[in-house]
Amino acid sequence: MNTKPHSIRSICVYCGSQPGSNPAYRTAAQTLGASMAKHGIDLVYGGGTRGIMGAVAESVMAAGGKAIGIIPEFLMDKEASRQELGSLSELHVTTDMHQRKHMMFERADAFVTLPGGIGTLEEIVEIMTWGQLGRHTKPMVFANVEGFWDPLNALLGHMAQEGFIHTAHLVRPMVIDNVEDIVPAILAANGSQNTGGETDLIAKL
């Protein structure tokens, strides 16, 4: 595995293939996409063209950035349409979810998690697990749009208090409420062994 990026050239964004019930989620995705393009950072994501996924990809490309979609063949007609997939800057069709997740990890220099469902949660928790095991030190961010990730924050706090997060120094996802602050925070944190500050999730627990 690539354990530490030399520079931030791409960010993997995990998010829902549905729009969610709060319009703020789609707005956050659009803001993040525009910010990434402004900083010359490519989007690596699950390839969906609907919901929050579609919003972030559209915004990146509308602002002149590059959207790299990675999607299993069996999801092509569920999370996207084949015609819409053709508009992405780059498309990779994988045979299964395992290959998809591995390719997303390899292509990304950092990770941002927008609101989403079980799949979104599973993806970022796996990345956190790999960090805990010392497999990477890539920056990780929870985009805490209107407190969406507060329940997870509380659960992680409970896990830490009960003695189950035993290597917290290896898991330092940032929790950032203001989406405009995410890309600058990632750029500032890259290469640091301690992100510090009030946005350091595990350190707060």
The pLDDT assigned to 71 comes to 92
DSSP state of 172: -
Could you list the pLDDT tens digit for every one of the 205 residues in the chain? 656 567 999 999 999 999 999 999 999 999 999 999 999 999 999 998 889 999 999 999 999 999 999 999 888 777 666 667 778 999 999 999 999 999 999 999 999 999 999 999 999 999 999 998 889 999 999 999 999 999 999 998 898 889 888 776 667 799 999 999 999 999 998 854 333 333 344 343 3
User: Where on the phi/psi map is residue 4: left (φ > 0), alpha (ψ -120 to 50), or beta?
Assistant: beta
Looking at the whole model, is its pTM more than 0.85? yes
The pLDDT assigned to 196 comes to 38
Name beta bridge partners: 45. 13, 69
The pLDDT assigned to 165 comes to 84
E strand or H helix that includes residue 42: strand 42-45
Taking CA atoms, 164 is separated from 65, 80, 140, 161, in Å, by: 40, 38, 20, 8
**Rg (alpha carbons) of the chain, rounded to whole number:** 16
Taking CA atoms, 103 is separated from 70, 95, 116, 132, 134, in Å, by: 8, 12, 20, 20, 19
